[in-house]
């Protein structure tokens, strides 16, 4: 590992994305559009106030997962990854380089989504907006880290898209959006309690209602951070210099 | 010091259950252009990957510049150009090279040097996806040249190029060799054999001849390298090569490929006889 090579990789990924304006537009706008749609659906009800924070967790997470897994799959398939691994690039440089680049994008994306949800859709945040950012960014980074991991198991673009339901849908179903987790069957509740997205949803709920103290929220951020680190470590272990 | 860039002994590579390369020996002298020639599917890429150290090897050893292939300190000293241009399509030529230079730890000025030597100055600011196949290949070559590695492993660098460009590239290779770089260049175009210092003819995962362009033609009495190669294959198939060279499991491989290239069908029968004879 070498910070220069990590940053060179981050810079390279960002330049690649800069050369693709449509992707930038999609990254920044799509989560906000979806949040807007949800707000519109529940226009006459109080539901959006309840699930709006969860939407902030959901959409950036999904978008970052998809973008990251496809970007790294492209590296594997185009032969550039093999070239890099025959060069003095550490596996950690590669993974961290990507995480930093997409993390930076996630910050911007989250800012747009939070701004849109609060200013345009009227989502009320009782707690600290700063903490809201922290949680939302941790959540987008989680999408990035899991996307990196998923791409290690996918050989084709078709497979990587199929991995989205595998990695993402159970987390949505068990995260407490459809039914509060304490009303789930016991086994599912336990599983749900260990999934990272559940904690992102809990934390964002807590920020928006202001019912919990900061320690409660930081504990959840820590839990998500552990998942991110774990996914990055497993992801970099799956990068092999020697392949069959 | 050492006069060998690459030395492989009893190298064996399996892919799944198939043995792709079986007990192969190989020597690449320093500062020479060594051509690795053979039909497509003969194992050239696999062998090159083993030398670069990105191939899982089942047995034997490969020493590169006096170190085991794939050692960390070799990553600065070995340049590898894969068969397909492994560059970023959504970056300009210069941005591609600048990134690879940073990874390689090569000085910034190196980017301009390799751009010039591969004749890509005019395309430097073009996005790689807008390049022709030959240009993209040259970017890939330029990337392998960054940091002036001691050994360049080039997998079919001239494929799909017009004769003029191909000639230019071989001039470039000669120039690099004169500066002391060792080049291992694969090709399935037999005409290119004459541009090499040494030739390794590969077929079905085995080196069937290790020779020089001059000896190849003189030894077989053939008029062209292509003819000489066919001649050697015929002798090889007929079993004139000494037994025990470790080719037993190579026979099921690629004979279809070779037949597909218009080889007479006795080729395959020849294998059967040989196999039978061994039992």
Closest CA to A167 of A186, A187, A153, A181: A153
Binary contact (B88, A12; C-beta < 8 A): yes
> Looking at CA atoms only, how far is residue A102 from chain B in angstroms?
17
Write the residue in B55, B86, B103 that is nearest to A89 by C-beta.
B103
pLDDT at B2: 59
Which residue do the tokens 């673009």 mark?
A157
Chain A positions touching B105 (Cβ under 8 A) are 88
* A4 → chain B, closest CA residue: B102
pLDDT at B239: 66
Interface contact A11, partner B, CB < 8 A = yes
Chain B positions touching A4 (Cβ under 8 A) are 102
Quickly state the pLDDT bin for B263 (edges 50, 70, 90).
very low
pLDDT at B255: 37
The pLDDT tens digits of the residues spanning B188-241 come to 887 888 889 999 999 888 888 888 888 888 887 888 878 888 888 888 777 654
Torsion of CA B231, B235, B241, B245, to 10 degrees: 80
Interface contact A112, partner B, CB < 8 A = no
pLDDT at B253 over 60: no
Chain B positions touching A87 (Cβ under 8 A) are 75, 100, 103-104
Chain B positions touching A20 (Cβ under 8 A) are 90
> Looking at CA atoms only, how far is residue A239 from chain B in angstroms?
12
Number of C-beta neighbours around residue B72 at 10 A = 11
pLDDT at B194: 86
pLDDT at B180: 92
What number is the ipTM of this complex? 0.85
pLDDT at B277 over 60: no
pLDDT at B275 over 60: no
* A6 → chain B, closest CA residue: B103
pLDDT at B103: 94
The pairing of beta strand B33-37 with beta strand B198-203: parallel
User: Inter-axis angle of helices B266-278 and B225-237, to 10 degrees?
Assistant: 40
Torsion of CA B12, B15, B18, B22, to 10 degrees: -10
Quickly state the pLDDT bin for B36 (edges 50, 70, 90).
very high
Chain B positions touching A14 (Cβ under 8 A) are none
Closest CA to B71 of A166, A62, A86, A237: A86
Write the residue in B54, B55, B103 that is nearest to A88 by C-beta.
B103
First to last CA, chain B: 45
Write the residue in A4, A11, A86 that is nearest to B54 by C-beta.
A86
> Looking at CA atoms only, how far is residue A11 from chain B in angstroms?
9
Quickly state the pLDDT bin for B274 (edges 50, 70, 90).
very low
Residue B252, SS3 per DSSP: coil
Over residues B7-33, mean pLDDT: 90
Binary contact (A86, B91; C-beta < 8 A): no
pLDDT at B123: 93
Per-residue pLDDT of chain A (244 residues; tens, 9 = 90+): 788 999 999 999 999 999 988 988 888 888 899 889 988 998 888 888 888 888 888 887 888 888 888 888 888 888 899 899 899 998 889 888 988 898 888 888 888 988 898 888 888 888 888 888 888 888 888 998 898 888 888 888 888 888 888 888 899 889 888 888 888 899 999 998 999 999 999 998 888 888 888 899 999 999 999 999 999 888 888 888 888 8
Interface test with A, best of B46, B102, B108 (most A CBs within 10 A): B102
pLDDT at B245: 43
Chain B positions touching A5 (Cβ under 8 A) are 102-103
pLDDT at B261: 39
pLDDT at B39 over 70: yes
Interface contact A80, partner B, CB < 8 A = yes
| Entry pTM | 0.83
Whether the CB-CB separation of B64 and B53 falls below 8 Å is answered with yes
Chain B positions touching A8 (Cβ under 8 A) are 99, 102-103
B83: DSSP letter = S
Binary contact (A79, B52; C-beta < 8 A): no
Chain B positions touching A84 (Cβ under 8 A) are 103
Interface contact A140, partner B, CB < 8 A = no
The pLDDT tens digits of the residues spanning B85-114 come to 899 999 999 999 999 999 999 999 999 999
pLDDT at B267: 39
The pLDDT tens digits of the residues spanning B150-185 come to 999 999 998 878 888 889 999 999 999 999 999 999
pLDDT at B272 over 50: no
């Amino acid at each position: 590992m070498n910070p220069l090579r990590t940053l060179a990789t981050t810079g390279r990924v960002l330049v690649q994305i800069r050369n693709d304006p449509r992707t930038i537009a999609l990254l920044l706008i799509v989560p906000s559009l979806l949040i807007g749609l949800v707000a519109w659906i529940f226009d006459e009800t109080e539901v959006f106030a309840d699930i709006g924070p969860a939407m902030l967790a959901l959409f950036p997470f999904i978008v970052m997962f998809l973008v990251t897994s496809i970007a790294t799959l492209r590296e594997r398939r185009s032969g550039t990854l093999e070239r890099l691994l025959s060069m003095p690039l550490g596996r950690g440089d590669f993974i961290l380089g990507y995480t930093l680049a997409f993390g930076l994008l996630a910050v911007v994306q989250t800012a747009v989504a939070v701004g849109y949800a609060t200013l345009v859709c009227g989502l009320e945040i009782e707690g600290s907006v700063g903490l809201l950012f922290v949680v939302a960014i941790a959540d987008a980074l989680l999408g990035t880290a899991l996307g990196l991991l998923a791409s290690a198991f996918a050989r084709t673009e078709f497979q990587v898209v199929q991995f989205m339901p595998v990695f993402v849908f159970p987390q949505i179903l068990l995260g407490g959006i459809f039914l509060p987790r304490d009303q789930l069957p016991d086994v599912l509740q336990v599983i749900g309690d260990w999934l990272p997205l559940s904690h992102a949803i809990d934390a964002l709920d807590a920020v928006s209602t202001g019912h919990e103290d900061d320690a409660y929220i930081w504990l959840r951020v820590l839990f998500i951070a552990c998942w991110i680190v774990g996914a990055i470590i497993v992801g970099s272990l799956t990068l092999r210099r020697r392949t069959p | 010091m050492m006069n060998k860039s690459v030395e492989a002994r009893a190298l064996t590579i399996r892919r799944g259950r198939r043995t792709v390369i079986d007990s192969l020996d190989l020597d690449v002298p320093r500062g020479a252009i060594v051509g690795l020639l053979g039909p497509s599917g003969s194992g050239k890429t696999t062998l090159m990957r083993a030398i670069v150290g990105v191939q899982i090897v089942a047995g034997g050893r490969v020493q590169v510049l006096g170190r085991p292939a794939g050692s960390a300190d070799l990553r600065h000293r070995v340049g590898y150009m894969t068969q397909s241009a492994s560059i970023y399509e959504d970056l300009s030529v210069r941005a591609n090279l600048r990134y690879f230079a940073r990874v390689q730890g090569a000085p910034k000025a190196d980017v301009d040097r390799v751009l010039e030597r591969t004749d890509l100055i005019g395309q430097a600011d073009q996005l790689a996806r807008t390049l022709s196949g030959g240009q993209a290949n040259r970017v890939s070559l330029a990337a392998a040249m960054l940091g002036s590695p001691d050994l360049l492993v080039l997998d079919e660098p001239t494929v799909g190029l017009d004769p003029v460009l191909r000639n230019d590239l071989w001039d470039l290779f000669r120039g690099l060799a004169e500066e002391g770089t060792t080049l291992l260049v694969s090709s399935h175009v037999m005409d290119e054999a004459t541009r090499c210092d040494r030739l390794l003819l590969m077929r079905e995962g085995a080196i069937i001849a290790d020779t020089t362009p001059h000896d190849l033609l003189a030894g077989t009495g053939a008029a062209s390298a292509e003819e000489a190669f066919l001649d050697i294959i015929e002798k090889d198939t007929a079993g004139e090569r000494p037994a025990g060279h470790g080719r037993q499991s190579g026979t099921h491989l690629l004979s279809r490929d070779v037949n597909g290239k218009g080889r007479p069908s006795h080729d395959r029968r020849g294998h059967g006889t040989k196999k039978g004879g061994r039992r």
